[in-house]
Structure 1
Amino acid sequence: MPEARSWQVRWWLNRWRQASAAERGTWRLAAVSTVTGLAVATASVVAAGPWDSGQRTAERDRAAAERPAGGTSRPGTATPPSAAPVLAALGAPGTVTTPGSGEEAVPPPTGTGLADALEPLLEDGALGDVRTVSVVDADSGRQVYGVDADRAAVPASVIKLATGAAVLSARGSGYRLTTRVVSAGHDRVVLVGGGDPTLTARPVHGPDHPASLRELADGTASALKRSGVRRVSLGYDTSLYSGSERHPIGPNENLSPVTPLMVDEGRLDKSDRGPAPRSDDPAGDAARAFAKLLRDRGVEVKGEPRRAKAGRGAKELAAVHSQPLSALVERMLTASDNDLGEALLRQTAIAARRPADFAGGGRAVTARLKALGLPLKGVRIADGSGLDRADRVPAALLAQVLVRAASPDHPELRPLITGLPVAGFTGTLRGRYAEDGVGRGVVRAKTGTLTGVNSLAGTVVDADGRLLVFAFMTTGTTDPAGAQHALDRLASTVANCGCR
């Protein structure tokens, strides 16, 4: 049992001595469940943790050593492993009972209790000028403690929770992004981008892997040879998206130009996560890589690939499919993957038949959040990744997104929970909580980091076994490491508190 929970053992022993024989029988089951749940949670995090990496400078080193876990590139195969066992082990809304009281649910903490525990920590100067807080009981959806919770602030990367909620609501967790090759005549083919930034040109292994450009070339070459075609010209179609490919932040190691056709997120090195040099022309690079793969398979490609549009009803020669949205959303959250954030924003727009650009995506995400019954006062969605400082989101919205995701009424949103980094184990929280035994393995949260902006939103199971969600947002910070540590202490305090 983790050291941070040793106080629970002492509490159980003291109460055990005072209990009746009947009470002891009930308590024994609860105590064993608690210990077993924590052990299973730790093992699950290590063995089946979700996607991992990082995106911003402050998070780069924390994620550099992580390897992603996968999904599958073919429709109809099993959903990839995620961190769902962690949530199940630690508890779910409405399932925790008070020792000796049958099925009566443990009450949530009180606002007064949480205020006593959190307000001294909120005085930490590392938290900057503006601090907004929302702590919500996941079972009832009621906010039990808040500080300016409805005040919209720059969210940084925690906006990906809203992006994920919107695309899962619009498309469903099993939806896959498809990259195709179609015939544009007897000796001309077009590579059609489907908006999958995880499409890879690297060798893949095993049944659960991203969509493979090599497999697409295999299928295309076979189809051409069956038709007696050995020489083609190649075009590439990026018409799925509209508007500028450039994010308002400009060229940046954290994000490639936003295009529906790219391989390995436009990375120019061998990395598969975190900041990296990016291509200025990821679509053209993908097409040139595809042309080389066709040549390697005995199909001559005339000249250089050129931009083109696939005609309506064009015959499909081959296609590959991304992992399901459940896996892509998990990766986006755990890895804080900006390229996926922008791709999924546009998928939300396409599902709503809006322009697949920054503005159309922002409107589509906002509409989906409204349809979920979420509070939208002051909300502005300017992008899907959180890199744009024009984004504005209140802490109350982030908390309620997580409430919906934890609810059995919205199973399609569960990847928002399973994709959260686990403190001390995965993703952008892997290198945090090293000296915090209370929060390690218990706090699950999405991080957000921009210069002067730090945020943290996620879930904990408190000392009484109640599932709570929280959102902490700060602006005006000058010490990123100090701000992160202060946010981590807040989340750990909620986890360690019955607070009634």
Structure 2
Amino acid sequence: MNDQTDDGAPDGEPAAAPAAADAAPRGIRALIARHRTIAVAAGIVAAVLAGGGAVALGAALDDEPTAAAPSPTPTERPTSTPTPTPVAAPPTSAPPERVRTCSVAGLAADPRLANLQAQVMNAATGEVLYDRGGLTASRTASVMKVVTAAAALAVFSPDDRFATRVVRGAEPGSVVLVGGGDVTLSRTPSGNETVYPGAAHLDDLARQVRAAWEADPSNPPLTKLVLDSSLFSGETWHASWDPAERELGFMPHLTALMVDGDRADPYANISSRGTDPVARAGEAFAAALGGVGAIERGTAPAGAAELGRVWSPTVAQLVDKSLIVSDNTVAEMLARLVAIELGTGTDFAAIDPAVRQALTGYGIARGGIRVIDGSGLSPDNAVPPAYLTRLFAKVDAREGNLGVILDGLPVAGRKGSLSYADRFAGDNAVAHGAVLAKTGWITTGYTLSGIIRAQDGTTLTFAVYALGDVTAAAKQAIDTLATGFYRCGDELADD
């Protein structure tokens, strides 16, 4: 299941959409509005992992460890000059190992946590304070959205947008609606705000097309609409996804052309989805365009003249939506567009190599990561808790574009999926405002990972997985354990 249980929306007004480009598009880059230089994955924030825990992580995840420098050969003294006998230095002892005394052992033994994996790290020092299976890559549920967001922010600028276009069709009187992967495109009237702030509207696109068509008196009546969703290929529903996700309103079939995330209700985060998103989009655009007598599937002719273009929300807005209310559809959009941008393919299989490539520049060992989808719905995704603690240290430091993730995280008792009535309630309310983290839920696990501003002023990064035979009560057990981390701070004992 998805971890979303209530409606919500990111704060702030969307930026104005940029003007349409004049040149004919070429590939995915022509469908992206660039406002500043792209942060290329291989060049972002190359940083050496700090601390012994980081070395262990690299070894465990099959990254090549740095070879130790050979000890220098001692230089022999010349024997011609007598050497005075040195005075023996007083013996020194190593400083005593710090003993931390704040224990969460009782909280971690809660049976509601089922098979617990967890790691907590001091974000400033890189020291691992608490570890239970932190090097083992396991299913993440919706915490995977943080990994997807980091990959997207390594490849795209936070200000980038994605285009939906209409071009002239091959037959007289026909136009082609070309999907650019924007799942937020809306069939609602312009001026309305759906669940996706900053979304483009079909009626705006239809007005552009009508104006361009009627500006040429030689055009015949516009009677046919062709729908081109070829940007994404392969299956539209991953075999590992639970069909209930669609039936309950958490996830549509994934296509490059859809409107409102294929929701029945464009204004509700949780809303039933259909079985043919392309058809829904086509019918809505034909109605907005008027006069269309035939709708069919096809592809745009090469070099066809563009008649109109609208733009998605920015990547920053998309990341915010994917995190704050755990929107699966936007997360899948971002993952697929990362794959297309990096040239690994256009289907589900292209996501794993693309995301792993995009993450390279963050300088964190990635060996155990397996990426099946962008949303975390698949139980076959795998990320070690240790990867997340290190990634969140970089998020907290706002390295590269990662500050976008920090700004979009749910906050205990304050914002997003951690502000719902069943999170950080009762005694755990002491941590309100101090836990900034992504929630996760599928049928075989509950997860939580992010940043804790601890009671003693220490910033901790953490990841908690409760895996196996779990119920909704695992959420409260995770919150209680995270509150224990908050109370302990840098005195957290690994007992």
TM over 0.5: yes
1:73 and 1:210 in contact (8 A); partners too: no
| Alpha-carbon offset, residue 111 of structure 1 | 8.5
Of 345, 364, 383, the residue aligned with 1:393 is 383
Matched, 1:289 2:293: no
Of 153, 157, 162, the residue aligned with 1:177 is 162
Matched, 1:419 2:377: no
| Alpha-carbon offset, residue 175 of structure 1 | 1.2
* Superposed CA offset, 1:152-183 (max 9, x none): 11111101111111111011211111111111
* Superposed CA offset, 1:262-301 (max 9, x none): 0011112354312x22111101110111000011xxxx21
Matched, 1:479 2:475: no
Report the 3-state secondary structure (helix = DSSP H, G, I; strand = E; otherwise coil) of the residue aligned with 1:393: coil
1:173 and 1:413 in contact (8 A); partners too: no
1:144-163 mapped onto 2 (5 Å cutoff): 144-163=129-148
Give the length in aligned residue pairs: 401
Matched, 1:489 2:484: no
Matched, 1:245 2:236: yes
2:9 and 2:321 in contact (8 A); partners too: no
Q: Distance in 2 between matches of 1:477 and 1:467?
A: 32
| Alpha-carbon offset, residue 499 of structure 1 | 3.6
Report the 3-state secondary structure (helix = DSSP H, G, I; strand = E; otherwise coil) of the residue aligned with 2:102: helix
Greater mean alpha carbon deviation, residues 354-363 or residues 229-238: 229-238
1:193-232 mapped onto 2 (5 Å cutoff): 193-205=179-191, 209-228=198-217, 229=219, 230-232=221-223
Report the 3-state secondary structure (helix = DSSP H, G, I; strand = E; otherwise coil) of the residue aligned with 1:134: strand
Report the 3-state secondary structure (helix = DSSP H, G, I; strand = E; otherwise coil) of the residue aligned with 2:336: helix
* Superposed CA offset, 1:350-400 (max 9, x none): 111111211101211112223322222322111111111111111011222
Greater mean alpha carbon deviation, residues 251-260 or residues 345-354: 251-260
1:364-375 mapped onto 2 (5 Å cutoff): 364-375=354-365
| Alpha-carbon offset, residue 479 of structure 1 | 2.6
Q: Superposition RMSD on alpha carbons, in Å? A: 2.3
Structure 1 letter corresponding to 2:17: R
Moved over 4 A (4+): none
Of 356, 362, 380, the residue aligned with 2:370 is 380
CA gap 1:270/1:342 in 2 versus in 1, 3 angstroms: closer
Q: Which residue of 2 aligns with 1:467?
A: 459
1:328 and 1:340 in contact (8 A); partners too: yes
Q: Distance in 2 between matches of 1:383 and 1:438?
A: 35
1:117 and 1:499 in contact (8 A); partners too: no
Structure 2 letter corresponding to 1:454: Y
Q: Distance in 1 between matches of 2:397 and 2:173?
A: 53
Structure 2 letter corresponding to 1:123: A
Matched, 1:280 2:266: no
Matched, 1:254 2:250: yes
1:94-173 mapped onto 2 (5 Å cutoff): 113=100, 116-128=102-114, 130-173=115-158
Q: Distance in 2 between matches of 1:424 and 1:408?
A: 23
Q: Distance in 2 between matches of 1:361 and 1:225?
A: 42
Q: Distance in 2 between matches of 1:162 and 1:112?
A: 34
2:434 and 2:454 in contact (8 A); partners too: no
CA gap 1:127/1:383 in 2 versus in 1, 3 angstroms: same
Structure 2 letter corresponding to 1:463: Q
Report the 3-state secondary structure (helix = DSSP H, G, I; strand = E; otherwise coil) of the residue aligned with 1:470: strand
Structure 2 letter corresponding to 1:420: L
Report the 3-state secondary structure (helix = DSSP H, G, I; strand = E; otherwise coil) of the residue aligned with 2:292: strand
Q: Distance in 1 between matches of 2:361 and 2:233?
A: 25
Of 242, 248, 265, the residue aligned with 1:269 is 265
Larger-Rg structure? 2
Structure showing the higher helix proportion among its residues? 1
Report the 3-state secondary structure (helix = DSSP H, G, I; strand = E; otherwise coil) of the residue aligned with 1:227: coil
Structure 2 letter corresponding to 1:340: V
Q: Distance in 2 between matches of 1:153 and 1:117?
A: 25
* Superposed CA offset, 1:221-250 (max 9, x none): 111121234423110111111111112226
CA gap 1:342/1:175 in 2 versus in 1, 3 angstroms: same
1:111 and 1:144 in contact (8 A); partners too: no
Query: In percent, how many aligned pairs have the same letter?
Result: 34
Structure 2 letter corresponding to 1:443: V
Structure 1 letter corresponding to 2:383: V
Q: Which residue of 2 aligns with 1:49?
A: none
CA gap 1:254/1:342 in 2 versus in 1, 3 angstroms: same
Structure 1 residues without counterparts, runs of 5 or longer: 1-54, 80-109
Of 64, 75, 87, the residue aligned with 2:18 is 75
2:141 and 2:447 in contact (8 A); partners too: yes
| Alpha-carbon offset, residue 466 of structure 1 | 2.5
Q: Which residue of 2 aligns with 1:189?
A: 175
| Alpha-carbon offset, residue 145 of structure 1 | 2.5
Q: Distance in 2 between matches of 1:209 and 1:378?
A: 36
1:247 and 1:258 in contact (8 A); partners too: no
Structure 2 residues without counterparts, runs of 5 or longer: 20-32, 36-96
Report the 3-state secondary structure (helix = DSSP H, G, I; strand = E; otherwise coil) of the residue aligned with 1:444: strand
| Alpha-carbon offset, residue 140 of structure 1 | 3.8
* Superposed CA offset, 1:18-45 (max 9, x none): xxxxxxxxxxxxxxxxxxxxxxxxxxxx
Structure 1 letter corresponding to 2:130: Y
Q: Distance in 2 between matches of 1:174 and 1:118?
A: 42
Q: Distance in 2 between matches of 1:200 and 1:439?
A: 38
2:135 and 2:386 in contact (8 A); partners too: yes
Q: Which residue of 2 aligns with 1:235?
A: 226
* Superposed CA offset, 1:443-480 (max 9, x none): 11111111230100011211232322111112124332
Q: Distance in 1 between matches of 2:242 and 2:450?
A: 30
Structure 2 letter corresponding to 1:212: H
Report the 3-state secondary structure (helix = DSSP H, G, I; strand = E; otherwise coil) of the residue aligned with 2:282: helix
| Alpha-carbon offset, residue 137 of structure 1 | 2.4
Q: Distance in 1 between matches of 2:98 and 2:145?
A: 28
Matched, 1:455 2:447: yes
* Superposed CA offset, 1:411-445 (max 9, x none): x1212111111112222112112323211122111
1:422 and 1:429 in contact (8 A); partners too: yes
CA gap 1:177/1:140 in 2 versus in 1, 3 angstroms: farther
Q: Which residue of 1 aligns with 2:314?
A: 324
CA gap 1:204/1:427 in 2 versus in 1, 3 angstroms: farther
